[in-house]
Chains A and B, each alone.
Chain A
Amino acid sequence: MMNRYNLKYIVSAFIMVLGLASCKHHEDEYHSITDKIEAEGKNYQGTSISSEAYIGDIKTIEITEGAHTFLIPERKSQIKSYACTECHIKPLAKMQNKDFKKAHWDIKIEHANENTMNCITCHNGSNMDELTSLTGKSIDFNKSYNLCNQCHTKQFQDWKGGAHGKRIGGWAPPRASMTCVNCHNPHDPHFESRWPARFNTQKVKERE
């Protein structure tokens, strides 16, 4: 009687061990790549690889938006005619007469329609060195993404996380990302259509 009782225990223990062991294959320890990422990433301590060297000569500033802290290129030094007040010595309203030289003739706005946007939606007529939000708060040229994210909220979310936009340098930390105006011309933000960079003539021959 006692013996049979023991045997039951031994058999059930054996089955349990077998059940546990059968989950593991000989080489592939995980059922899926997501399991693997989760398990192996648990004790992530960072790596010795750094992408810092590849940022190069680009002057950057560090920004923190929500849970994300990363570098973006500094903007003011890249604008040819900054500071704007070097020409805009008076508020915009007082400069609209014949005595002043015409400027910015090359800028054509292709951004939303006339009902929605014009120059002063973004530019501050009385302080040209800064941008202005929809409610009239000032926005620094270096953080112009705060201007864009008033309307483009989804893109802003994706950009912060890294799904929208482009990294500068490499994949490893420190993260440096392009800001909105590095890819999009704020006055004409859409991407132009053009011809592909390549046409494979050999493939055409092979498929004849």
Chain B
Amino acid sequence: MSNNNKKWFSLNLGRKEKESSGACGCGKTSGGCGAASQSDQMTDAAFAEAAIHASIGEEKNKDGFEQVFDVKMDRRTAFKKLTASLLIGAGAVSTSCSVIGGDESKEKAQIDWEEQFKGNYKLMTDEEKNGTVDRLVRSYQLRTGKTISMSSKNAEEDVLFGYAFNISKCQGYMDCVNACVEENNQDRNSEMQYIRIHEMKDGKGFNFNEADDNYYHEVPAEGHFYMGTQCFHCDNPPCVEVCPVQATWREDDGLVVVDYDWCVGCRYCMAACPYDGRRFNWSKPEVPEAEINKNQHYLGNRMRKKGVMEKCTFCVQRSRAGKNPACVEACPTGARIFGNLLDPDSTIRWVLENKKVFRLKEDLGTEPKFWYFMD
């Protein structure tokens, strides 16, 4: 990516492929490295223009750099932030100026620095999105020696994703749950799962108080029916409303997504969701290296960290490429139907127009794009 319209201050660690500012050769031991390049970038007129261009509201028209630094805050938080940033900065500087530090560790430090200040994904230009994806792929390569592919594919025009679930077909096999966990690199230690299959008694309706979502006996059990819940990708999502840092939002194709690098882990969204669609990483998510799904998307199944929210994304890495989500593909009964709501010839539209469909807690006005129906 080009350097001239980057919206945050860049460290130049004197790595060979980048043009050296000479800061590391100056022999300074404090954070003066790359100071020359800073003034160039900050006074650029295009910088302000790009910032306004990227804005989506009065309070949102700050770019990545300003979102970090140009915030009214009390002294305590200011010191906290400053210390955190200084630690990274100091780390970067010491690596860059160290004689024994290799080119690789310098690159690692530079990537860490850039990632720290990259800003909110929602506000990024396509170029910046590619930039951060490239950095994350490179960082993973430096750390593990393995190569992943990560996409930053945007929402397609004329696509609005929707989902239908046939409650008379589901037999409670839970193949969908397994496929989801494997596809989306969910934490194996805490056995996180986005999908829950509820076993409900016939004749009691949707009674979640008496339903069991963790049964283990031969299914389908006599006198029971099964229904699945996951993130419903509401068109009026309450989780997005409550996010204090706008780390979660609805994309144009209807997917409600999370920027794991912008999330502060306050869990407001978890409380706001009326469907228990969101999950929190209480510990560092761990997946055995051999089981990691390397086909990733920035907003989807890339590796998360401790203390951030995650949830079903309708497998954004698959759905935006034209595939069905993993749960749809895994279901042996055909209870799960996925498609484009705007396409009048799509199967999902046929279901909505010809079957008796309903949604969970419709009266809340959340407008979930997940319908239930029966044969």
On A, residues with C-beta under 8 Å from B are: 28, 32-33, 36-37, 40-41, 44-51, 53-54, 154-155, 158, 161-167, 169-173, 175, 178, 183, 191, 193-204, 207
Contact = CB atoms under 8 A, between A and B. Distances in A.
A163 B350 CA distance: 8
A37 B341 contact: yes
B300 to A, nearest CB: 16
Interface stretch (B78-86, B89-97, B138-146, B174-182): B174-182
Q: Which of A32, A164, A170 has the most CB atoms of chain B within a 10 A radius of its CB? A: A170
Contacts of B345: 173
Interface string B121-163: 0000000000000000000000000000000000011111000
A203 B191 contact: yes
B219 interface: yes
4 closest A-B pairs by beta carbon, nearest first, are A162-B347, A161-B350, A202-B191, A41-B342
Secondary structure dominating the interface of A: loop
8 contacts: A37-B352, A47-B343, A49-B159, A54-B322, A162-B348, A175-B347, A193-B219, A198-B174
B157 A47 contact: yes
The number of chain B residues touching the other chain, given as a range, is: 35 or more
A33 B369 contact: yes
Contacts of A165: 334
Given A50-B322, A170-B322, A194 B218 contact: yes
Secondary structure dominating the interface of B: loop
A163 B351 contact: yes
Contact of A200 (B214, B219, B318, B322): B214
Contacts, number: 151
Contacts of A203: 191, 213-214
B156 A204 contact: no
Contacts of B99: none
A196 B331 contact: no
B158 A47 contact: yes
A36 B235 contact: yes
Q: Which of A183, A197, A204 has the most CB atoms of chain B within a 10 A radius of its CB? A: A197
A44 B219 contact: no
Given A47-B156, A162-B350, A171-B340, 7 more contacts: A40-B158, A44-B344, A161-B354, A163-B351, A169-B322, A171-B347, A193-B219
Contacts of B346: 162, 171
Contacts of B332: 183, 191
A175 B373 CA distance: 21
B342 A199 contact: no
Contacts of A198: 174, 177-178, 193
